[in-house]
Amino acid sequence: MNLPLIPAPATASAFDETFVLTSASGVVHSSELAGPVARFLEDVQLDAGLTLTGDSGIHVDLGSVAGVPPAAGLRADGAALDERHGVEVTPEGVRVWGPTPEAVYRGLTSLRQLISAQIQEGTAVLPAGRIVDGPRFAWRGLSLDVVRTFHAPDEVRRVIDMLALYKLNVLHLHLTDDQGWRVEVPSRPALTEVGATGAIGDRPGGYYTQAELAELVAYAADRYVTVVPEIDMPGHTAAVFKAYPELGPAEPQTIDVGNGDKLHLGTLDPGRDETWAFVEDVLDAVIPQFPRSAYVHIGGDETWGMADEDHAAFVEKAAALVRERGKKVVGWQEIARAKLGSEDVVQYWLDLDIDKMGENPDAPTPPEELLPVLVEALRKAKYDAPKALEQGAKLIVSPVTWLYFDRPHADTSADPSQEQARERLGLQFYGAASIEHGISWDPVDTLPGIDSTDQIAGVEAAIWCETITSSEDLELLLLPRIPGLAEKAWSHQTATNWPEYALRLGQQSPTWRNRRWTWLRSTEVPWT
């Protein structure tokens, strides 16, 4: 049964009948499902232009689901909630059920996609059938860089809407880096007064007020998306040193990386009391702003020029401070070089093989001064995932090769006006990637060192914004890649057939058009 659904459901069967949904249809539900139903009604209007004004036709209720295994991994909110659900369409109407309101919301999300694909002149003729579904992995997310280019709250809400449409449930906000600081810390006002004024190159800076973050966290929670904060340390702290020079090295060093940005070689010093007073101030201010997240991301990556023992000492103490405040620790894969606990989570990203880096003839050579730094980092990186697993930590799978959405698009666009942007966007160093490439892998079967879903906390893509100058740029790199991320994070199918997937992907475009989202109109996809 080839339904226009992404991610592909675990099981689906078809009947030779239909149900006709019109504006006179509506949703029957109990009070405990009022939230998911309200979101559904709002989203169907935005997705398909259909306002459901009636009180019958769709029935939603709480009920158990069998036939799909429970999700592997960990949830970012720390809960043990079941997202498995069922959707059944008969000539008499539609039933959506699941054991929790969140499960019902996921089922209603499938129904949203069906309606959008079938709507014509205000009527959706839905094929009769039965879907029983649930996620393969519990953590399914996107890491969004709001530092190199600052994305205002309205744009972040648009990204949250994209995640929710494809049953993704984590927005990892990369809030601090060399180029800026984007979150309020009242006891350290210079972080936003000084550290937030700027981004990469001459782009404007900015930050989220506590009120804006509260609204974003609530908006995401209404769509069952958990916002996880990242405070990147001990490296990527040039914005901290700009705001509080006394925390930085006496002689800061930088390397020009050739794209308008610089690599900063200074880090926070774990041997100074002032460093830990700063870290505690930041954690005490940031953690309460993300009450739904069970985790704090401490960064820990790319600590250029820092001694290994100093890096390990920093990670271990920063992790302890997070745990003291009742939160769990997640960090980039380099934190595996320190002592970890079994509840810690390691984000595995550096799947690049240093011995094969020269195989892309079109990739530019890094600046000579930068090359030894990169070589050293990549040589250490291949030991990180094994070290994490040996310590009992689970991995968030975020490999550069498959899930870094700041790679250039290889597919040409059916819209000639997008070609100039396509040539400009993405880091050429990684090489271009096609939309088909994005679904031609598996989190367990493809990655070296991983042989079981039990080792994986979840799957998360990352979008870095060195080349992104606007919301249109951001969306052009995110879409149509986000559905491919969802296919790998949610679907139990370990291999995805490209022609069949391309058909499902093409049927997403009416929703994107109605939402006024920007997407790469790949010539390899039969857009509806």
Which pLDDT score is estimated for 354? 57
- What does the pLDDT average to over 17-43? 97
The pLDDT tens digits of the residues spanning 79-111 come to: 999 999 999 999 999 999 999 999 999 999 999
Three-state SS letters, 259-290: CCCEEECCCCCCCCHHHHHHHHHHHHHHHHHC
Q: What confidence tens digit (pLDDT) does each residue in 266-283 have?
A: 899 999 999 999 999 999
Q: What is the pLDDT of residue 302?
A: 92
Statement: residue 458 has pLDDT above 50: yes
Instruction: Tell me the per-residue pLDDT of 166-184, one tens digit each, with 9 for 90 and over.
Output: 999 999 999 999 999 999 9
Distance in angstroms (rounded) separating the CA atoms of residues 423 and 489: 29
Task: Kindly indicate the confidence band of residue 369, based on its pLDDT and cuts at 50, 70 and 90.
Answer: low
| Tens of pLDDT, residues 125-139 | 999 999 999 999 999
**Range 507-528 average pLDDT:** 98
The stretches of 263-394 forming alpha helices (DSSP H) are 273-286, 308-324, 371-381, 384-390
pLDDT tens-place string over residues 331-343: 999 999 999 999 9
Query: Does 302 participate in catalysis according to the annotation?
Result: yes
Q: Which of 302, 334, 436, 466 is catalytic?
A: 302
pLDDT at 362 exceeding the cut of 50: no
Every domain of the chain and the residues it spans: 11-133, 139-515
CA distance 489 to 419: 30
Give percent of the chain with pLDDT exceeding 90. Answer: 88
Beta bridge partners of 143: 172, 462
pLDDT score for 254: 73
The answer on pLDDT for 457 being more than 50 is: yes
pTM of this prediction exceeds 0.85? yes
Q: How far apart are CA 481 and CA 505, in angstroms?
A: 10
Residue 330, pLDDT > 70, answer yes
Domain at 139-515, CATH from 3.20.20.80, 3.90.420.10, 3.40.50.1110, 3.40.1280.10? 3.20.20.80
| Higher local confidence (pLDDT), 382 or 159 | 159
Contacts of 296 (CB under 8 A, 6+ apart): 228, 229, 230, 231, 283, 286, 287, 290, 322, 325, 327, 328, 329, 330
> Which token pair is 242?
């700009």
pLDDT band, residue 259 (cuts 50/70/90): low
Q: Pick the range with the lowest mean pLDDT from 74-88, 240-254, 302-316.
A: 240-254
Quote the CA–CA distance of 460 and 491 in Å, as a whole number. Answer: 14
d(CA 366, CA 360): 13
Report the chain's mean pLDDT, rounded to a whole number.
94
Please state which CATH class domain 11-133 belongs to: alpha beta
pLDDT in tens, 151-167: 999 999 999 999 999 99
**More confident call, 289 vs 376:** 289
pLDDT of 211 higher than 70: yes
Does position 364 have pLDDT exceeding 60, yes or no?
no
Share of the chain above pLDDT 70, in %: 95
The radius of gyration of the chain's CA atoms, rounded to the nearest angstrom, is 23
- The average pLDDT across 424-450 equals 94
For 79-97, the DSSP string reads ------EEEEEETTEEEEE
Asked if pLDDT for residue 143 goes beyond 50, the answer is: yes
